[in-house]
Structure 1
Amino acid sequence: MNPQQSDLQRALADLDARLGRITAEVGEVRAGLSALARQSGPAVAGESPVESPWRAGAPAQGTPHLVTPAPAGAPSQSAPAPARPGGPWRPPGQDDPTGRYGPPPAHPDRPAHPDRPAHPDRPAHPDRPWQQADRLWQQPAGAAPRRSPRRGPRITAATVIAAIGGSVMLAGIAFLLVVAIQAGLFPPLARVVAAAVLAVVLVGLGLRLQSRHESATTDPAAHTDPRAASDPDGTPVNPGALALVGTGLAAAMLDVIASTTLYLWIPVPAAYMFVGGLALGGMALAGRWSSGLLACLVSAGTMLLAPLISTGVELPIFVAIVGIATAVLAAELGAAVRVVWSVLPGFLLAGYLSQAALHSRGEQIALIATPLVFATVGVGVAWYDTAHRRPALANAALVVVPTALPLALLPATHLLRPGWPVGLALAAAYLAVAVLAGRTGRERAHVLLAAVTGFVGSALLLLTWVELGGRELTGFALTLSALAYVVSAGLWGRRWVDLVAAAASVIAVLVYAAVNRPHLVLSDRLAVREFTYWDVVSAFAITALAVAVTWWARRRLPRESTRVMMVGAVVALAAFSVMVVAAGVVIGDLTGVARNGFLAAHLVVTVLWICCAAWLVLTANPRIADARRLGFVLGSLALAKLLLLDLATLPGLFRVLSFIAVGAVMLAVAVRYRRETEPSGSGSPT
């Protein structure tokens, strides 16, 4: 044989082998892309899936042929590659049995195809899984599909157009009826029947349109939107269907209202039943379609149309029932739904409770029971959405606030007088829920539920003291409540308790300043005339509150403990001084010389201040930070009081005793302080 022919045959054989390898690699790439397409979603309509050469049962004609180069002088032989039903894209549990499709590679570096020569100079591509035949793809076992929370109502351009179209169509129908009525073509019965038929037709068309839309969306052969197919939790809603159903329900409700108010054919309770049934149907349909927008339209529309039926006591009861039904059937459809079902009934019930005295006893009982049930449902829904729903709904606990708004007016109801026990019971219930929610979990949803219920319970508690029957008693109760919250904040360490403690303390101080008027200690005439034993008790409570706030603030602000201690000590000493003066006036009044009691009390206060200042200046207690500085401050205040107040107020002997006592204490402090600050003394100079 001619040597040139032999070289030509070898070159052709080598070229044939290279083409075979290229064909095999192209087949692997197509198989990988086909597997990726099958995993990502259904195939596009009209395309046939690409058969993988590694899949079991693949057609033989799709298998690439590998050509093995023959030695010199031997004809080249072409053999089909063995069909491999397994590969890197096969799910777990379908691996090749050992020895069925040839022995496994003896070494991990051995190429996947023995008849394919390895190319060490070819770079590896870890991002191309179809080129890594030795690493089998494994689907994570036990990975449960995560259920995503339902989205809130999305208002798109199509939704806006559909809403406007439905409103315009309703207006056109109304104009048509007006023209027909003016022409005498429509008697009342025909109008009612025609409106009912129109409502049924509109709702039926909406249901039909949505059914066809769902069929077209969920059909893999006709599916064109991959996002809708990849969302198994939400049913796509056609805006046209939503507008038709909403318009039909509105037409039906208006038909019932017209039959009740214009023609008096339907009694008011039956009209509420019909409208409520339509609202329940709309809520069920909104839950079926997962449409928060439809739920908002049905709930808000029903509540806004209900006053057209009547404005009696049955109106807030019906609106509360609609709100409860919305909470049960559609609470998870978005924040807008929660706002609608909780805010509108809450404000309406509060408005009617403020005028409860104008109604009969039975109507008052109904107005009292309805807010209790409504608030209970609000707390129950918030607890379920926070503690039992996975994942928990964001800000679901906020519905507690509007649902509890009518409860603030219950203690003031004439039928419940005195109402403070009712207020205490309601506040205790909300605070108990707050404690349970705080102990149930530490997640954000549980913390929010505990904070919201705690705020509501605290507000109800503070508002309850208004019904005690006296300003002084109310102020004293507020001070005791603030003291309890401050102690709880220092011991428990919850942020919402800190906020409530701060707010309650500020309110208690403001109420004390407005009711008890502690500034009267500067005038003997006003103090003798106005001070009573309530001023003594209230001033003592304010003193205890100042001490507790100082302790709590030092624990929360350790870096500012010195300043907190100084301010707290001054405030507590001032409140205690007011208590001493008030006690002197009360004791003097019992003995018949109230003014002498006032003067003696001021003398005691001045001596008390200078003695406290002396003790702080001379103390060596390391636990009291900057005690000497605080002593100098109190001494300056005592001296200012002596020169500005006592000199002008105290007469005769009281003035003499005051000046002698202050001077003696200051001389003693000076002598002791000089001994401590001498270089030869035991103290260190300051």
Structure 2
Amino acid sequence: MSERIGAAAERGLIGKILATAGVGVTLIGVALLLVLAAQAGILRPEFRVAGGAILAAALVAGGMWLRGRTDGRIGAIALTATGIAAGYLDVLAATRIYEWLPIVPGLGVAGLVAAGGLVLAHRWRSEHLGLLVVVPLIVLAPVLAGGLDTTLIAFMVVLCAASAWVQVGRDWIWLHTVRLAAPTIPLTLVGLVGLAGWNAPGSSDPVFAAAVAVVVVLGVGGALLSMSTTRHREVVAGLASATTIPALFAGSAMHLPGAVILQTSIALVLIGTVLIGSGFIGSGAATRVIPDSVAQIWSATALLLLFVAVLVTFDGTVAVAVLLGLATVTGLVARTWSTTSRVLLAGSSVIWAIGFAALLDAAPPYVLADADLIGRAANLEVVVASLFGASGALILAAGWARLTDERVSRAAHIAAGVVVVYALTAISVTAGVLVGGPDGFLAGHVLATTCWMALAGAALAYARRRGGAARTAAVTGGLVLVAAAIAKLFLFDLATLDGIFRVIVFIVTGLILLGLGAWYARALQDDPAKSRSATTV
């Protein structure tokens, strides 16, 4: 044990422990002077506050003197941090205990104390001192302001902006984190309070929107400025994304139009920043200041904001259609943008899955098979959502096929095929009901069966131009779809359809089968190698 203590002393650990203990004990003494002395009637308030201010100044002066001594860095930081904390307590007493200062001037004086401490931290190249200056101020500010209100939010935003210069030439990730957290946390609390159904004092639309916008600009702007010098690019980008968290709860803190505008605007700013910073817009690699990892983080953040904006703006089947449309557009972007394709594909796949699950809830298969149920559930939004669901499934399957192995690619295409079959059925039946009522329901199922056979033919035609596993999967899918269409023909259409619709569906399906059989047999005779491959299949 003695040897370990000796080694710790050599590393300076003992000095840090003793200095930290001294900070705590001294601050307790200052608190006793300002608070308990008031309760006991010791000294007049003026002498208590003046004594606290003199002690704080003396501690800071002692720290500055000790900084010039050999091996005095640890003691200087401890003394200076104690003096600044004592100054905070003095401001607290003058503002909340004796009520000599209004809230805003009190916060201003505390900010001036913090500014002096940050100047010393920057000059001494001490992130530790910077944290000891900012963290107590963040804890003290709600006490001075009397809780979560507009004054506190404004002060935290000003603190974040006014202390940004400390990061210049310094890669101080912890201080940067604390700075951004100072306004982000109370703004998030405002949104959570509104989500719980309470009315937060800081939830005024202009104040909340302006504060969130400024914090996001500070986060993203600071990340861009430090991108070429910092060793923590991904962390800095993640912190910038974290500043958008209050915007996710804007719907509970603001009126709906303003919340949607705020969320959409931030998302578009992030997208534009990524496009320009990654060289997608401009002269390519020459303008690239954002690495791929940062582009992925900010792209995912923008997609999350758009997702929340859709949920806040729309409801019912309209929301389903818009979600599936958002997923489809994002999947298209991912195909042309290799730097963020995995993140965008993953995000769009999650959104598509949520949208498609909602589509299945709005128009489940048993509803499509019942004329009365589909008559009540049919609307244009289901048709649009089904269209986006099918196109999105194909685009996402193709995207994952480029980035994953053969097994995942095959599974993705099989799932996409099932979705397309369902979507075409929903489109045919729903559109038929919307156009023709009960007769349209029958015509829609005739069209659905025909579409199944057409898809089977498309799969077999695709197989003719491919080889290996892709050919096998396409042939198998086409034959399974033919079998499913025939099963539907005899198990559902024969029992449900009547009159001319039953005649039409059997004749059309039979002619398509004849045509497919004759075409595929001739195709195999024209290509003996493929014929042998197909025979093996």
> TM-score, normalized by length of structure 2?
0.82
The 8 Å contact of residues 442 and 501 in structure 2, kept in 1 or not, is answered as: yes
Give the aligned residue type for 1:550. A
Shift of the alpha carbon at 1:314?
0.6
Aligned partners of 1:423 and 1:180: how far apart in 2?
A: 51
Match of residue 184 from structure 1: 41
In the alignment, which residue of structure 1 is the partner of 2:178? Answer: 340
CA shift for structure 1 position 675 = 7.4
1:316 to 136, 146, 153: 153
Separation (CA, whole Å) in 1 of partners of 2:95 and 2:27? 20
Equivalent residue, structure 1, for 2:246: 406
How many angstroms apart in 1 are the aligned matches of 2:251 and 2:58?
50
1:595 match: 438
Partner residue of 2:358? 514
| Contact in 2 for aligned 1:677/1:684 (Cα 8 Å) | yes
Match of 2:268 among 428, 452, 462: 428
The structural deviation recorded for 1:191 is: 1.7
CA distance in 2, matches of 1:416, 1:604: 42
Partner of 2:455: 612
Give CA-to-partner distance per residue, 1:354-379, whole Å, 9 cap, x none. 66794789954233222212211111
Q: Distance in 2 between matches of 1:487 and 1:161?
A: 61
Match of 2:485 in 1: 638
Deviates more, 1:372-381 or 1:416-425: 416-425
Q: How does 1:102-501 map to 2 (within 5 A)?
A: 156=13, 158-175=15-32, 180-181=37-38, 183-212=40-69, 216=70, 238-310=73-145, 311=147, 312-330=149-167, 332-353=170-191, 358=199, 363-387=204-228, 389=229, 395-410=235-250, 414=254, 417=257, 419-439=259-279, 446-494=291-339, 496-501=340-345
Higher helix share: 2
Instruction: Give a deviation string over 1:451-476, Cα, whole Å, max 9, x none.
Output: 33322222222222234344333332
| Change beyond 3 A, Cα 1:470–1:180 | closer
**Cα distance between partner residues in 1 of 2:180 and 2:171:** 14
Amino acid at match of 1:551: A
Letter in 2 for 1:455: A
Task: Return 501-510 or 553-562, whichever deviates more.
Answer: 553-562
The higher radius of gyration belongs to 1
Change in CA separation of 1:620 and 1:397 when aligned onto 2, cut-off 3 Å: closer
Contact 2:30 2:86 in 1 (8 A): no
Query: What displacement does 1:422 show?
Result: 4.0
TM-score (norm 1): 0.66
Provide the rounded CA distance (Å) in 1 between the counterparts of 2:151 and 2:121. Answer: 26
Any gaps of 5 or more consecutive residues in structure 1? Answer: 1-153, 218-236, 589-593
- The CA distance in 2 between the partners of 1:253 and 1:679, in whole Å, is 90
Look up the match of 2:464.
Answer: 621
Structure 2 CA distance for aligned equivalents of residues 478 and 254 of structure 1:
52
Partners of 1:445 and 1:680 in 2: how far apart?
A: 51
Q: CA RMSD in A?
A: 3.5
* Deviation (angstroms), 1:245: 1.5
Alignment CA distance shift 1:420-1:307 (3 Å):
closer
Cα gap change, 1:677/1:490 in structure 2, threshold over 3 Å: closer, same or farther?
Answer: closer
Give the stretch that moved more between structures: 372-381 or 417-426: 417-426
**Residues of 2 paired with 1:546 and 1:618: CA distance?**
20
C-alpha separation in 2, matches of 1:618 and 1:544? 20
Deviation (angstroms), 1:279: 0.9
Choose which of 378, 382, 404 in structure 2 pairs with 1:535: 382
Looking at structure 1, the residues matched to 513 and 61 of structure 2 have their Cα atoms a distance apart, in angstroms, of 96
Q: Report deviation, 1:381.
A: 0.9
Instruction: Rate the CA distance shift 1:155–1:276 in 2: closer, same or farther, 3 A.
Output: farther
What is the alpha-carbon distance in structure 2 between the residues aligned to residue 175 and residue 490 of structure 1?
Answer: 66
Q: CA deviation at 1:283?
A: 1.1
Aligned-partner Cα distance in 1 for 2:327–2:512:
37
TM superposition shift of 1:326: 3.1
Q: Look up the equivalent residue of 1:536 and give its one-letter code.
A: V
1:161 and 1:643 map into 2 onto residues whose CA distance is 88
Change (3 A) 1:248 1:178: same
Q: Which SS does the other structure have where 2:464 is aligned?
A: coil
Q: Matched residue of 1:309: which SS?
A: helix
Provide the C-alpha distance between the structure 2 equivalents of 1:619 and 1:415, rounded to a whole number of angstroms: 52
- Using the alignment, how far apart are the partners of 2:463 and 2:87 within structure 1? 85
**Structure 2: any 5+ residue segments left out of the alignment?**
1-10, 280-284
Partners of 2:184 and 2:15 lie apart in 1 by: 33
Find the residue that maps to 1:266 and give its secondary structure. coil
Give the 3 Å change call, closer, same or farther, for CA 163–543 of structure 1 in structure 2: same
Aligned with 1:456: secondary structure?
helix
Matches of 2:530 and 2:52, distance apart in 1: 100
Alpha carbons 2:171, 2:231 under 8 Å: kept: no
Contact between 2:323 and 2:352, CA under 8 Å: does it hold in 1?
yes
Amino acid corresponding to residue 521 of structure 1 in structure 2: L
The residue type paired with residue 511 of structure 1 is G
- Cα distance 1:344–1:641, how it changes in 2: closer, same or farther (>3 A)? farther
- Aligned with 1:264: secondary structure? coil
Is the alpha carbon distance of 1:240 and 1:662 closer, same or farther for their aligned partners in structure 2, counting shifts above 3 Å?
same
Secondary structure at the aligned position of 1:192 is classed as helix
Q: Are 1:552 and 2:399 counterparts?
A: yes
Percent of paired sites with the same residue: 28
Q: Per the alignment, in what secondary structure is the counterpart of residue 243 of structure 2?
A: helix
Which letter maps to 1:604? Answer: L
Q: Tell me if structure 2 keeps the 8 A contact 1:486–1:498.
A: no
Q: Matches of 1:484 and 1:644 in 2, distance apart?
A: 38
| 1:418/1:250 CA distance change after superposition, 3 Å | closer
- Matching residue of 1:48: none
After TM superposition, give the deviation of residue 447 of structure 1 in Å.
2.7
CA distance in 2, matches of 1:164, 1:265: 32
Aligned-pair distance for 1:391? 7.1
Q: CA deviation at 1:555?
A: 3.2
Task: Give the 3-state SS of the residue equivalent to 1:684 in structure 2.
Answer: helix
